[in-house]
Structure 1
Amino acid sequence: MATNYSYVKAPNLSIKTADGTVYAYRELGEKKGIPVIFFTHLSANLDNWDPRVVDGIAKKHWVIAFDNKGVGLSSGKVPDTIEQMARDALTFIHALGFEQIDILSFSMGGMIAQELLAIEPRLVRKLVLSGTGPRGGEGIEHVTKLSDRDLIRAIFTLRDIKTYLFFTRTDHGKQKAKEFLVRLKERKEARDKQISIKGYRRQLKAIHEWGMAKPADLSKITQPTLVVNGDDDRMVPTPNSYDLAQRIPNSKLIIYKDSGHGGIFQYHDEFVKSVIAFFR
């Protein structure tokens, strides 16, 4: 049965896995076919997905977004490695009983998705990697330094850190940042919990180690893959997207002009159309 509400009205659901962890999630769209599982970014909870992206894709697909272990309304301790995050994601997906999924990932979520594919490749039919990079990718080891610097900047300017991390500082980028942040506040009730400072630092550690790790053999990813980014991503530098597209055999690359790490939110209409066409 199709749900008739938007993401901002979707109820918070939960499932307890065999290891005792309770995972929080929201779902949207008609519950049939292969579900699209959303893998999210550093520090993010369920409220950090752009409702325009979720609603748009849910018009054609069954969409599920979830809180990583230890984040938001999910229980447990935040892992400090990307590999463990991938194993936890697998635990959640198996608990829901899925035998095959599509993945839409963003930033750290794209790193988790790559690790998941290395562990259980047959689970995934198609893959979207947005605003992310490969293991050992250019500049990924600097995410902690960049995030700390922009956090201080955000505090002193009384702005959300995503203004700086996700968007360019052009007039167009600044306007799109404002619009995005307004959309994230559309949900008024049953909002998710923020990540703890300790959990946030553990995620940063995981990303840093991912950036310092030995590159993986991405030719083993045989699934159709859509790689997406802005042309000026400061957080996970845009050359990483070109690298992914070169090294993953069956891939397509989309780069949005005058946009940064959050290009998929800045160009949400175009992104949704591309993803729907890709997941057919």
Structure 2
Amino acid sequence: MSRPFVFRTIDIDGQTIRTAVRPGDSAIAPLLIFNGIGANLELVMPFVRALDPELEVIAFDVPGVGGSSTPSTPFRFPGLAKLAARMLDYLDYGQVNAIGVSWGGALAQQFAHDYPERCKKLVLAATSAGAVMIPGKPKVLMRMASPRRYVQPSYGVRIAPHIYGGAFRRDPDLAMAHASKVRSSGKVGYYWQLFAGLGWTSIHWLHKIRQPTLVLAGDDDPIIPLINMRMLAWRIPNSELHVIDDGHLFLVTRAEAVAPIIMKFLAVEKQRAIMHPEPAVTRAH
């Protein structure tokens, strides 16, 4: 049975960060979740519930989102990766596995690159290499550039099929359920997140990411066209790509199908080297 989350609000250099930890008792390293733009940690709960209940999970609201304070000036991705590392120090974690979703996938890439000793394995879901990505349709991107769907839930429900695709096109109840979990901190935090990724790209250092990496993509994702995920898998040396029959939020809508793929990936350890004995020396007679 899954254990309840333990919520804490911590202070890091004057920045208030809301955290949630689901305790676990697994041999697998804890899983740190980097959420999508504007998304408070409650939005990933359906996915977490689908994971092995023994897996320890760490979720948090980035500055300007949910229960975390909004900074007076925006962070860039390197600064946010440093903040995440400081948060792990505060919560007394060493090495973790990391999963990044959409905007959070860019932050997860930065974290894995800047703190390789802290990141054992990397999961990238519905994300891209940033500024060099092949963009979605202009109308979709225009809607994503505004926090309106978080500030005005009824608007979010109306546009959900068009921006998230997949199951959201077929089931209107999904949009209602998603909107009910939204906890907006206002427009400024959303714009600060947009600024964090302005002009950012990982394309020139993706080949330096050495962690085993699982790349997950939706085949009906209006925000991140599939070719972007193929590019990530091509550029990251030790990676594998799985394409999910769904849209942008497949971690939530297809949680029961995706969670086992992730758990299997996290559970596999590198095969230990076999130490062969020294060959016997043949003496000359």
Q: TM-score range by the shorter chain?
A: 0.7 to 0.9
Instruction: State the 1:248 CA deviation.
Output: 0.8
1:212-246 CA distances to partner (integer Å, 9 max, x unpaired)? x4732212111111100111222122211000111
**Structure 1 length normalisation: TM-score?**
0.81
Is the alpha carbon distance of 1:122 and 1:48 closer, same or farther for their aligned partners in structure 2, counting shifts above 3 Å?
A: same
Is the alpha carbon distance of 1:197 and 1:150 closer, same or farther for their aligned partners in structure 2, counting shifts above 3 Å?
A: closer
Name the residue aligned to 2:96: 101
Name the residue aligned to 2:215: 227
Q: What is the RMSD of the two structures over their aligned residues, measured on CA atoms?
A: 3.0
Number of paired residues?
Answer: 261
**Structure 1: 5+ residue stretches without partners:** none
Instruction: State the 1:159 CA deviation.
Output: 4.5
Name the residue aligned to 1:4: 3
Quick one: which of 239, 243, 251 aligns to 2:231? 243
Pairing of 1:90-129 with structure 2 (within 5 A): 90-129=85-124
Pairing of 1:34-183 with structure 2 (within 5 A): 34-49=29-44, 51-77=45-71, 79-139=74-134, 145-148=142-145, 158-160=155-157, 161-168=159-166, 172-176=167-171, 178-179=173-174, 181-182=176-177
* Percentage of matched positions with identical amino acids: 26
**Structure 2: 5+ residue stretches without partners:** 268-285
**Structure 2 length normalisation: TM-score?**
0.80
How far apart, CA to CA, are the structure 2 residues paired with 1:184 and 1:104? 22
Larger RCO, structure (CA 8 Å, separation 6 or more): 1
Task: Indicate yes or no: 2:201 matched with 1:206.
Answer: no
How far apart, CA to CA, are the structure 1 residues paired with 2:69 and 2:148? 26
How far apart, CA to CA, are the structure 1 residues paired with 2:259 and 2:177? 19
1:175-196 CA distances to partner (integer Å, 9 max, x unpaired)? 34633642664x7xxxx84132
Name the residue aligned to 2:262: 275
- Give the letter aligned to residue 277 of structure 1: K
Is the alpha carbon distance of 1:145 and 1:218 closer, same or farther for their aligned partners in structure 2, counting shifts above 3 Å?
A: same
User: Which segment is superposed worse, 72-81 or 124-133?
Assistant: 72-81
Task: Indicate yes or no: 2:184 matched with 1:194.
Answer: yes
Quick one: which of 236, 259, 263 aligns to 2:250? 263
Q: Is the CA contact (8 Å cut-off) linking 2:17 and 2:62 kept in structure 1?
A: yes
Q: Which has the higher helix share?
A: 1
Instruction: State the 1:11 CA deviation.
Output: 4.6
Pair member with larger Rg? 2
Task: Indicate yes or no: 2:21 matched with 1:27.
Answer: yes
Q: Is the CA contact (8 Å cut-off) linking 1:150 and 1:165 kept in structure 2?
A: no
Instruction: State the 1:156 CA deviation.
Output: 11
